[in-house]
Amino acid sequence: MRNGDGPVRDEGRIPREPREGHEAPSEPAPAPAGIPEQQARPHPEDGLDGQTAAAEQAQAERAATMSEQHNDKHHDPHDRSGARAMFIELRKLPDGSPEKADLRNQLVRMHLPLVEHLARRFRNRGEPLDDLTQVATIGLIKSVDRFDPERGVEFSTYATPTVVGEIKRHFRDKGWAVRVPRRLQELRLALTTATAELSQQHGRSPTVHELAERLGISEEEVLEGLESANAYSTLSLDVPDTDDESPAVADTLGAEDEALEGVEYRESLKPLLEDLPPREKRILLLRFFGNMTQSQIAQEVGISQMHVSRLLARTLAQLRERLLVEE
């Protein structure tokens, strides 16, 4: 800075006089409040060299920090920025070493939020969320064991297909009410895809012959695959019908009428009752349809109560035997 009296000292330094043929350098802008002026602006003689030196120093400090993080064996499992360094170290450690097992567990815990996010995409499909999270964690562990950090791919990008595939495999293997062979499970999936494609192509449901031609299988195999679909379980009755606010499927079903249980028995007994002798038939009707006691039946029919008991026992035994023969 200059004034009318000549050069003055600035912060204890004497600025250089401008060289011959060169203009004096312009005065740097004043430092922001709270920052010492000596730190806020470079020395006039440094120019761009001072900025380069500062950038190199900052880069060296960052490199030193990364080196310390890499050499530190106790990584913070919540520090995602250090995940790549942890994976590199994991590959260098020998199999079976406690250090490798501990680092592997840290990486798994670090990425559990990814597992929970992917598992929630499959909720309300008949499986508890906790079970889906456990299945997805298996996929995460497989991804940690197989991931190569040198490929330049983010771990979340690499792990997502494996985790989702593990969840879908769980639905495919566990979503059958009756256990059927894997061949039929895969055939059902192929039939579902072919049916959708042919329906869109022809504007109607495909025939068995068209499905067989599309998949290159026999019509008998198509029918077998369609029949196996009946073993596939539907959603739980406790799951909401459409969304969380709608009632459960079970709440929309009617109650079972206990009287319906006796319809089949009455229809089966009707022809057998017609074949009974008139007295045995009358005693049976008075006992079970008239709700009369054996003593009352004896007075009504005109025989002893003991005789009524023997006739009832013999008639019921005959009916039971004939029902078993017909079944």
**pLDDT tens digit sequence for 113-137:** 999 999 988 877 767 888 889 999 9
* CATH among 1.10.460.10, 2.40.10.340, 1.10.10.10, 3.90.230.10 for 182-231: 1.10.10.10
Higher confidence at residue 89 or residue 263?
89
Q: Does domain 274-326 have CATH number 3.40.50.1820?
A: no
Query: CATH 1.20.120.1810: which residues of the chain?
Result: 70-174
Query: CATH 1.10.10.10: which residues of the chain?
Result: 182-231, 274-326
Higher confidence at residue 67 or residue 223?
223
Q: What is the pLDDT of residue 44?
A: 43
Q: What is the pLDDT of residue 283?
A: 93
Per DSSP, what are the bridge partners of residue 10? 13
Residue 220 in this model has a pLDDT that exceeds 50:
yes
pLDDT band for position 307 (cuts 50, 70, 90)? very high
CATH topology of domain 70-174: Four Helix Bundle (Hemerythrin (Met), subunit A) (1.20.120)
Q: What is the pLDDT of residue 43?
A: 45
pLDDT band for position 1 (cuts 50, 70, 90)? very low
**pLDDT tens digit sequence for 27-76:** 444 544 444 444 444 444 444 444 444 544 454 444 344 434 434 444 44
Higher confidence at residue 41 or residue 181?
181
